[in-house]
Structure 1
Amino acid sequence: MKTNFTTITIQKLFEQYEQEVLEAERNGYLKENTAKTYLLHSGNFVKWCKNEFEPGLRNK
């Protein structure tokens, strides 16, 4: 895997997003399943950016 500035930036932004989603869940703005869905799909996007995910295939 090649790491470049863009994927590092996306990873850092995802980590910030993850904290905001978890905070919204703790504060009662999001239900647990909603927060999990938000993080799953955005996490898959980050994996796709790092060439670790292909939509429609069995991924780890």
Structure 2
Amino acid sequence: MDLGRRLKELRGDRSRDKVATAIGISSSALGMYECNKRIPRDDVKRRIADYFGVTIQQLFFED
């Protein structure tokens, strides 16, 4: 599974704005990650993983 699809799945029915604000990024950045147009920096990867309660390994590398 690719990062974008995984992020959309984890976000579920929560708004992009709500999730982005909680993570500390812009909603447009989150949208770019979800569309696989950008890859988050390492510090953002950690914040995303922490927010969703998963490891970076699970988020970025496991199918």
| Alignment TM-score, normalising by the size of structure 1 | 0.28
Alignment TM-score, normalising by the size of structure 2: 0.28
* Rg larger in structure: 1
